[in-house]
Structure 1
Amino acid sequence: MTITERTTDAKSAAERPLASAKKLTRARRRQRFQEFWADFRRSRTGMFGLIVLIVFIGIAVAAPLIANESLLDPTKVHNALNAPPSWEHPLGTDPLGRSVLVMLMWGARVSLTVGIAATVMSVLIGTVFGLLAGHFVGWRSSVLMRIVDFFLVIPSLLLAIVLASVLQRGLLTLIIAIGAASWAGTARLVRSQTLSIETRGYVKRATALGAGHTHILGKHVLPGVMPLVLTSTSLAIGSAINAEATLSFLGIGSGDTSWGAMLQTALSSGAATAGYWWMVFPPGVAIVIVVLAFTLVGRAIESIVNPNLRGR
């Protein structure tokens, strides 16, 4: 056997344990997910919330296939104004003659997009700040926590209103405004969990063996805080959808059709006070149902990943 062949065999022998370790890791992850899904299916409220969310997301995705976007343009529709529900328009029409049902379907796209995207942004920022503030000590932790405290002191809705008013109007602005105003609470939770995890023996052993900050945070701390982050994400989406509806209701939304914008139209046109309930009831109920569904899913996830709540 030549030297080249021996070297190749040695590399192959060294790569085999690594490949086996990766397969074992993937198998464990699949097993944990299967166990999580089995526990989640036992929660009736969690499954109910998940089914409701799937229905609303499906409606939002299929909206362009069900109703053309041109139906949202008042200059291209010729329906009666403020018409009550009928066979032709099951949820009636708005003061501009647009079908409330069509607006409700297209509004789901904006409300869900803003709610999910803004929550992902706020959770990412909060998780990074929380990990760093809990891992590092001294002046670095103090500086990070003072930044978190600054955003905690300012009312999130007020900060979102200011950002949405200052920045250029649009969907991205609305996402940034809500996400930037709601991450501080997540940072506090992640920091407290990080402090708890770093007192455990396996983290101390890794530190004593010379592991760097990136290794400790990525391999030991982050997996430990992920259940908390996942629960916080599912619960925060409902708050983000409420924030989008509030900003749109105040007239500083993205300008696109959303559930909050529908309520603002009903108020500004006098439909809400004139007894045209079909302008107020459908978007209001849609907001309540979706927020409740996200809350049910979040509570179900929390009862699974939190050992203190398991089995209740």
Structure 2
Amino acid sequence: MNLVWQRRGRSLAGFWREYRRDRAGLVGLAVLVVFGGLALAAPLFISEADLSATNAPARPRQAPGADYWLGADGYGRSMVDVTIWGARISLAVGFLATFMSVAVGAVLGIVAGHFRGWAEAVVLRVTDWFLVLPTLVLATALASVLKPGTTTVVVAIGATAWPGTARLVRAQTLAVEGRPYIERARALGGGDGHVMGRHVLPNVMPLVLAQTTLCVAGAILAEATLAFLGLSDPTKVSWGTTLQLARQIGAVSAGNWWILLPPGLAIAVVSLAFTLCGRAIEGVLNPKLRVR
């Protein structure tokens, strides 16, 4: 057991050694740490009472100034508080939806690559159907049928964003299944569950990890879009609902840029940070992708 943990420790140390060589990946990781820390610590310095529309301490649409650095929104809430608190919902939805989509895609990809035959044909045809239709359109249709809320947004994104992961995992599974130790495992009596769980899954997990970081950015953008369309819970403060409120009060035509800029910029920066981390992880796991 100690030997196993020592090997894992050396692997993690080697992973970090290669990762920190990517400056863009380090910048993305630093940005995510800052946003994640602010989201977790938000209840310590932001009161939910200040986020209530009835208890807002500032005047509606107040421009940035000494008292409110980023101004106030349509309800008179500080845009600093709204942006920081909105990170809690947006990041949570992004992670949960990504976990759901990656889990579904990984399972279906391994099943299609391992069993082949009719199982592969069914998975591939369903995957092709989802790939043909735009993910956002499917998510919007699903979210409009279900009751509006945060859970609905998570399910809508997770249930429609898995085909890309399924394709990648299937291709990796086919490559792993052709290796000699898989034949030895089967010759020694290893069943389908043993081969998939003990041999295929550990070898596709690095790909799944890289795909996860890349999918979170798309999930955050999808959450903001669905919330902007009014398909999320309007009582929950997120970056998407903040943009929706800005649209409802006509912030664009009124020139209230401070209501639009903080959540929009936060979405762009966090999405870019996840993309940079995902590319850096891909470079570590696949040396052919490293930029010299």
* Matching residue of 2:105: 126
Amino acid at match of 1:260: G
* Matching residue of 2:249: 269
Indicate the SS of the match to 1:308.
helix
Shift of 1:75: 0.9
Taking the aligned partners of 1:289 and 1:60, their CA distance within structure 2 comes to 15
* Matching residue of 1:249: 228
* Matching residue of 1:115: 94
Deviates more, 1:230-239 or 1:160-169: 160-169
Deviates more, 1:187-196 or 1:160-169: 160-169
The residue correspondences of 1:73-152 to structure 2 (distance < 5 A) are: 73-152=52-131
Contact 1:245–1:260 (8 Å) recurs in 2 = yes
2:134 equivalent among 122, 137, 155: 155
Higher relative CO (Cα under 8 Å, sequence separation at least 6) belongs to 2
* Matching residue of 1:202: 181
2:165 equivalent among 186, 190, 200: 186
- Taking structure 2 as the reference length, the TM-score comes to 0.97
Taking the aligned partners of 1:28 and 1:40, their CA distance within structure 2 comes to 18
2:155 equivalent among 156, 165, 176: 176
Q: Which has the larger radius of gyration?
A: 1
Amino acid at match of 2:176: I
Contact 2:50–2:57 (8 Å) recurs in 1 = no
Indicate the SS of the match to 1:241.
helix
* Matching residue of 2:266: 286
Taking the aligned partners of 1:137 and 1:49, their CA distance within structure 2 comes to 39
* Matching residue of 1:4: none
Unaligned runs of 5+ in 1: 1-21
Unaligned runs of 5+ in 2: none
Taking the aligned partners of 1:68 and 1:287, their CA distance within structure 2 comes to 23
Taking the aligned partners of 1:76 and 1:309, their CA distance within structure 2 comes to 52
Indicate the SS of the match to 1:272.
helix
Taking the aligned partners of 2:2 and 2:133, their CA distance within structure 1 comes to 48
Could you list the structure 1 runs, at least 4 aligned residues long, displaced by more than 3 angstroms after superposition.
Answer: none
Shift of 1:311: 6.0
Taking the aligned partners of 1:241 and 1:64, their CA distance within structure 2 comes to 21
Amino acid at match of 2:18: D
Contact 1:91–1:101 (8 Å) recurs in 2 = yes
Taking the aligned partners of 2:123 and 2:135, their CA distance within structure 1 comes to 18
Shift of 1:174: 0.9
Taking the aligned partners of 2:192 and 2:277, their CA distance within structure 1 comes to 34
Indicate the SS of the match to 1:76.
coil
Taking the aligned partners of 1:141 and 1:43, their CA distance within structure 2 comes to 37
Q: Deviations over 1:44-70 (max 9, x none)?
A: 111111111000011111111111011
Taking the aligned partners of 2:274 and 2:189, their CA distance within structure 1 comes to 42
Taking the aligned partners of 2:117 and 2:256, their CA distance within structure 1 comes to 60
Count of residues in correspondence between the two structures: 291
Taking the aligned partners of 2:50 and 2:207, their CA distance within structure 1 comes to 43
Contact 2:24–2:280 (8 Å) recurs in 1 = yes
Task: State the superposition RMSD in angstroms.
Answer: 1.2
Taking the aligned partners of 1:177 and 1:254, their CA distance within structure 2 comes to 14
Identical-pair percentage: 52
Taking the aligned partners of 2:263 and 2:123, their CA distance within structure 1 comes to 40
- Taking structure 1 as the reference length, the TM-score comes to 0.90
Taking the aligned partners of 1:128 and 1:221, their CA distance within structure 2 comes to 11
Contact 2:58–2:77 (8 Å) recurs in 1 = yes
Residue 61 (structure 2) pairs with residue 72 (structure 1): no
Taking the aligned partners of 1:269 and 1:174, their CA distance within structure 2 comes to 24
* Matching residue of 2:42: 63
Taking the aligned partners of 2:142 and 2:242, their CA distance within structure 1 comes to 22
Aligned in 2, Cα 1:161/1:311: closer, same or farther, shift over 3 Å? closer
Amino acid at match of 2:160: A
Contact 1:246–1:260 (8 Å) recurs in 2 = yes
Shift of 1:310: 4.0
